[in-house]
Amino acid sequence: MTTTLQSIIRDAALAPEGKLKIDWVQAHMPVLNRIREEFERDQPFKGLRVAISLHLEAKTAYLAKVVKAGGAEVVITGSNPLSTQDDVCAALAEEGITVFAKYNPDAAEYKDLLVKTLETKPDLIIDDGGDLVTILHSERRDLLPQIRGGAEETTTGILRLKAMEKDGSLQFPMVAVNDAFCKYLFDNRYGTGQSVWDGINRTTNLVVAGKTVVVNGYGWCGKGVAMRAKGLGANVVVTEVDAIRAVEAYMDGFTVLSMADAAKVGEFYVTVTGNKDVIRGEHIANMKDGAILSNAGHFDVEVNLVELAEMSVSKRTVRRNIEEYLLKDGRKIYVIAEGRLVNLAAGDGHPAEIMDMTFALQAMSLRYVNENYKEMGKQVIKVPYHLDEQVARTKLESLGISIDTLSAEQKAYLESWAAH
């Protein structure tokens, strides 16, 4: 029996537009479609409530529908105030999913929607960035006992979970979806690489070729952003704090500079470090007139907007999702989407074919945690390799690509140590 609760959304009349968006992505998510068929057959979540906090756009909506198809009662909220799409929320609410989400709520309302989601007393959770888990382990510990476990989407969330695991605070197992091969190799690199430039390009409508793009951070996401900037014809500068990654960026053909030096040359900046205060007043002081700042990290902490505001005499919106800060010396600095993650706050997130793999892993990890949570311990759990491989194999199949298999002799050769 499903007991859909009253959704809190912006406008139910937007449902038809949202439904079209969901249908479009569904047609491009073959791996998740396969899982939906398995879930319909096996009903792995029958009688359970699943709370989801993810960027609430069409691909996420389809994941919610797949989890519901597995028998769950689904309650969903956003994971960033600017990444929720109201039409998608309306469509989901019409499908019997409880939605507590709106585009651009204020900070208090955003938090309240997360708390309301947890107050439905879910058995399982899907989190992106760790907000659900953090609320459960701080102000709403009363809701902890019901939770069997969950799955976390992103690098930032896993860092927070590992800190909790380390100091013994974590109270249930969480599967680290981000760390699966079929997640970070594709979503972080090719997904972020494409969606960040999609967001910047559709928002600015300016040329990238010939300009200097500074990418702060050369993790998997940074690698993707830098690679695609190069493809667009930019001169790409990378800043890093990790010596090995800095060498990697250099050998990949990029100019590696300190931020103090990079601040003097960039026309576009993309922070993608997961850390705070990557671009600060001391850097902005030396920037070129017209520099465009954007962030692709989970939280809006990478560009220090407080210091930027302090250096400015005025601020105004000059185009949808672009704010112009007029500095005291007359230079103008532009910030996209208030320094929130540019690919989702000023775009639609990663392409459907990429989120297909990520959300297939989410769906399978949720099932895995539900079937094994009693033995898992209160830990951060890896996605089992066979699930990762299953996603890759289904993806290849959907692409019509066959690969070779080892013969028995070849396997034996690889496993032997005697003289070759």
Pick out the residues of the known binding site for substrate: 128, 153, 183, 187
Q: Which residue is nearest to ligand ADE (CB)?
A: 349
Instruction: Give how many residues touch ligand ADE by CB under 6 A.
Output: 15
Closest CA relative to residue 45, chosen from 179, 150, 119:
150
The yes or no reply on residue 88 touching ligand ADE (CB under 6 A) is no
- Sole binder of ligand ADE in the list 355, 357, 380, 381 (CB under 6 A): 355
d(CA 370, CA 358): 18
Burial 200-231 (b: 16+ CB within 10 A, else e): beebbeeebeebbbbbbbbbbbbbbbbbbbbe
Q: Which is nearer to ligand ADE, 98 or 195 (CB)?
A: 195
The yes or no reply on residue 344 touching ligand ADE (CB under 6 A) is yes
387, 361 Cβ separation under 8 angstroms: yes
151 to 180: interface string for ligand ADE, x by CB under 6 A = --xx--------------------------
- Sole binder of ligand ADE in the list 87, 128, 267, 353 (CB under 6 A): 128
Q: Could you tell me how many residues make up the chain?
A: 420
Closest CA relative to residue 150, chosen from 122, 184, 169, 111:
122
d(CA 86, CA 385): 36
Residue 255's alpha-carbon distances to 68, 214, 262, 392, in angstroms, are: 48, 9, 10, 34
Token pair 């690679």 is found at 227
Q: Which residues are annotated as a binding site for NAD(+)?
A: 154-156, 188, 217-224, 240, 275, 296-298, 343, 350
Residues numbered 22 to 81 that lie near ligand ADE (CB under 6 A) are 54-55, 57, 59-60
Q: For helices 30-42 and 58-69, give the axis angle rounded to 10 degrees.
A: 20
The DSSP call for residue 189 is I
> Which segment (42-50, 99-107, 222-230, 347-355) binds ligand ADE by CB under 6 A?
347-355
Residue 340 Cβ vs ligand ADE, minimum distance, rounded to whole Å: 12
Residue 191 Cβ vs ligand ADE, minimum distance, rounded to whole Å: 6
The yes or no reply on residue 350 touching ligand ADE (CB under 6 A) is yes
Residue 50 Cβ vs ligand ADE, minimum distance, rounded to whole Å: 16
Closest CA relative to residue 334, chosen from 291, 283, 365:
291
The yes or no reply on residue 340 touching ligand ADE (CB under 6 A) is no
Residue 58 Cβ vs ligand ADE, minimum distance, rounded to whole Å: 8
The yes or no reply on residue 349 touching ligand ADE (CB under 6 A) is yes
Q: What does the block give as tokens for 211? A: 């300009």
> Which segment (31-39, 243-251, 344-352, 406-414) binds ligand ADE by CB under 6 A?
344-352
Which residues lie near ligand ADE (CB under 6 A)? 54-55, 57, 59-60, 128, 153-154, 191, 195, 343-344, 349-350, 355
